[in-house]
Amino acid sequence: MKRIHEIFYSLQGEGKHTGRAAVFIRFSGCNLNCPFCDTDFISYREMTDEEIVREIDRYPSRFVVLTGGEPSLQVDHALVDLLHQQGYEVAMESNGTHLPPKGIDWLTISPKVTPVVKECQELKCIFDGHGDVCDYGIQADEYYLQPCDVGDVEKNKAIVSQCVEYIKQHPRWRLSLQTHKLVGFQ
């Protein structure tokens, strides 16, 4: 049984796949307690892998994003295999503190503490405007900086501006904005 906070259909709002239709499976629970986290971990329902697939089959996209919380605490090879058998491309968004199961098609690591994962397709670091970006030596195909949303319009503008300047000085990074928040969709 997996603890599922919610399953919903939307567009990917961040990183390489921004704008792509996706089914999101948001797992409940995390091993970290980040102050900027936007996920409620208290409410969830327990679902089997088969129940999860039945629910996501209602949507036309075959791109599924495993997110959280921290999905690597619950996602296993059996779920990934079942999703592949049903024709899904499987992406996972993780903090990198636990190794993901084999078979993930697109792994995004967004480290908040020293991760155990050292390779991924996409590294997304939260940029708060304080100092250098710590990539923890992670090797990635794509490198993104995402300005931290601190809930204050003026501070957010300053952080975005600093992030842009940082990227101009360190061009391997690209800007990732939370377009779902900017445009107003889930």
180 is catalytic: yes
- How far, in Å, CA of 125 to CA of 49, rounded? 30
Residue of 30, 120, 125, 148 marked catalytic: 30
* SS3 label, residue 95: coil
Residue of 63, 93, 120, 122 marked catalytic: 93
84 is catalytic: no
Pairing of strands 174-175, 139-147: parallel
Residue of 81, 89, 135, 180 marked catalytic: 180
Which residue type sits at 33? N
Question: DSSP state, 172?
Answer: T
- How far, in Å, CA of 42 to CA of 63, rounded? 27
Which residue type sits at 165? E
41 is catalytic: no
- How far, in Å, CA of 84 to CA of 62, rounded? 10
39 is catalytic: yes
Residue of 8, 36, 37, 76 marked catalytic: 37
* SS3 label, residue 71: helix
30 is catalytic: yes
Residue of 6, 34, 49, 135 marked catalytic: 34
Cis peptide before 69 (omega within 30 of 0): yes
Catalytically active residues are 24, 30, 34, 37-39, 93, 180
